[in-house]
Amino acid sequence: MHSKLVIGISSSALFDLSESDRVFRESGLKAYSEYQRSNEDTFLSRGVAFPLVKKFLHLNSLLGDKDRVEVILLSRNTADTGLRVFKSIEHHQLPIVRAAFTGGTAPFRYMHPFRCQLFLSTNAGDVREALANGIAAASILPSPKNITPSETLHFAFDGDAVLFSDEAERIYQEQGLDAFVTSEKNAADKPLTGGPFKPFLSELHQLQSELSKEISPIRTALVTARSAPAHERVIKTLRAWEIRIDESLFLGGMNKASFLQAYGADVFFDDQAAHCESASTVVPAGHVPHGITNE
């Protein structure tokens, strides 16, 4: 059975709804509903996650199978106010056909039935709820409009509290760098437990494993502040998981932005807001509000 990648996307991440949101905040729900209806045939412009979504959907063409990857719209709109969103999807020629319009309630309830492996949104509360319910999720930050010209989709992940649990990060935050290094060296042969993005990485790996490594349209990278000797536990953890990472950057605390730009990341996921803000100046970045740094 072929693997399938499914991403859930909020309407505010896919399209620029800043003006609609201003109407809602300043004048309330009724005015917002009237505004959306009166502008139904005014197509929405691209949002912060639009380039990533378009490139993600293009994987189907590269794979020669229209059903291997899917994007599902998860919107707090009603179907009535959300009609403008669907018309904009059609205008931009995005093959998105499934949606849940939740009428102001949290969308996480429908992520498992849709089999979403990743949820992207600009609503931090919805992202936290998705994470709490076992879905890899991130708040997408404003980033450069350009996307890497390569047809290959480049995913980049931080390690601790993203791919891995925050068990090691807790030692670092509570006891300092020396204690962290000692602990990781002593636990080098003990695999880390999985973090919120392990299942998504596993799905990427499953898809990659069905394709030739030389022509795979997906590449993955671990971009971590770790350095030797704390690298060994990470390598052995991925080995124990039997998951392939194409590139691994152990930066020893160096700023990640220039490395992500050199890698050509289409999206970078990190649990630390400051790292995401720095990265978002050069590549699309998603904040994962998980672990001790977000408590």
Which of 20, 7, 284, 276 is closest to 136 using CA atoms? 7
Q: Which residues of 233-265 are buried (b: 16+ CB within 10 A; e: fewer)?
A: bbebbbeebebebeebbbeeeeebbebbeebbb
Q: Dig out the tokens for 187 from the structure.
A: 């636990």
For residue 4, count CB atoms less than 10 angstroms from its CB and return exposed for 0-12, middle for 13-18, buried for 19 or more. middle
Dist. CA 94–CA 92, nearest whole Å:
6
Q: Dig out the tokens for 166 from the structure.
A: 């925050």
> Looking at this protein, which amino acid is placed at residue 146?
N
Q: Residue 112 CB: number of other CB atoms within 10 A?
A: 11
Which of 103, 243, 217, 101 is closest to 159 using CA atoms? 243
Is 160 one of the catalytic residues? no
Of the candidates 21, 41, 80, 158, the residue annotated as catalytic is: 158
Instruction: Name the residues annotated as catalytic.
Output: 158
